[in-house]
């Protein structure tokens, strides 16, 4: 296991900042646990320093137990926000680690397990968040489903349906339920992907949903601007998260993951969280309707 970055603000060569492939094969059953990854991802547990950018805000982050969502939850808490996270019940072990980190930052943590493919649960998730935190200022729709398949013939209707429900329908249900609670100055942040513009042939259904998320976010931004609410989307490239070894990529691709981008390695969740902070904070007050790539140099 590599040593975590102790100070993310210290100048260093980005090519050498984190582990490079090859990585060991490490199959997990979906949705998987970050705690069992080798090397374990850096979510900013020891490195992220807050500066009060989100003081007093109330945020909901889906997929907040691991990966990018976990890094965003840590960053938001250290920037002064109270944070609710959503995750699947099987991810409780990772989620409780995040709850502890939020509370150690001196902020309120709310853990709400449940399946985003269920419309009723999405509505309840917003209601429970508002009740527990006393409002909602930031919605980060981050949770996603990704399953690699070599051929369209291997994609069942059930898989296609579940991918769209988890990645697109849930986003619609959540934002529709959240909109009445968002006051001027609030922010909605979605998670698209480089696959929206460079779709992988083995991620047919996933890539399609990520293109839909980008378009959805751009369209929604026009509506929400009239309410003083900003909407933006982040488009990650290859990031070292549990989504990859738990069925998101073949084990052969996991071993080489991120090695083909210009920086020669996958990104770590801690490296993308600051963008989610910017898009949620007043420092990003003129930023809406954008899709922001973070790809390690890969052309978006």
Catalytic residues: 206
Q: How many Å apart are CA 253 and CA 272, to the nearest integer? A: 22
What is the CB-side half-sphere exposure of residue 46 using CA atoms within 13 A?
Answer: 7
Bridge-based pairing state of the strands 230-236 and 58-62: unpaired
135 near 56, Cβ under 8 Å? no
30 near 246, Cβ under 8 Å? yes
Length of the chain: 300
Q: How many Å apart are CA 8 and CA 198, to the nearest integer? A: 29
Q: Is residue 133 helix, strand or coil?
A: helix
- How far apart, in Å, are the Cα atoms of 141 and each of 14, 87, 253, 270? 28, 12, 26, 17
* DSSP annotation of 141: E
Q: Which of 59, 8, 4, 290 is nearest to 187 (CA)?
A: 59
Rg (CA), the chain: 18
Q: Tokens 């890969």 label which residue?
A: 298
Q: How many Å apart are CA 139 and CA 111, to the nearest integer? A: 15
């Amino acid at each position: 296991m590599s040593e975590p970055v102790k100070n993310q603000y210290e100048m260093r060569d980005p090519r050498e900042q984190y582990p490079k492939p090859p990585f060991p094969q490490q199959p997990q059953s979906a949705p998987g646990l970050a705690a069992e990854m080798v090397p374990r991802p850096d979510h900013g547990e020891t490195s992220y320093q807050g500066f009060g950018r989100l003081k007093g805000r109330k945020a909901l982050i889906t997929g907040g137990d691991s990966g990018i969502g976990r890094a965003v939850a840590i960053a938001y808490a250290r920037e002064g926000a109270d944070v609710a996270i959503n995750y699947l019940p099987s991810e409780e072990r990772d989620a409780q680690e995040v709850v502890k980190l939020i509370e150690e930052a001196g902020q309120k943590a709310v853990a709400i397990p449940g399946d985003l493919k269920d419309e009723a649960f999405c509505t309840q998730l917003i209601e429970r968040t508002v009740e527990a935190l006393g409002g909602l200022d930031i919605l980060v729709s981050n949770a996603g489903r990704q399953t690699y398949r070599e051929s369209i013939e291997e994609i069942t209707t059930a898989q296609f349906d579940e991918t769209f429900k988890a990645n697109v329908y849930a986003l619609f249900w959540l934002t529709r339920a959240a909109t009445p609670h968002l006051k001027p100055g609030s922010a909605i942040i979605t998670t698209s992907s480089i696959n929206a513009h460079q779709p992988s042939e083995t991620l047919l259904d996933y890539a399609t949903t990520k293109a839909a998320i980008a378009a959805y976010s751009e369209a929604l931004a026009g509506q929400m601007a009239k309410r003083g609410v900003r909407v933006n989307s982040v488009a990650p490239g290859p990031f070292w998260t549990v989504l990859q070894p738990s069925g998101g990529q073949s084990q052969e691709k996991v071993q080489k993951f991120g090695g083909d981008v210009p920086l020669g390695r996958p990104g770590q969740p801690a490296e993308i969280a600051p963008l989610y902070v910017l898009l949620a904070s007043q420092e990003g007050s003129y930023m809406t309707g954008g899709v922001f790539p973070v790809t390690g140099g890969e052309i978006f």
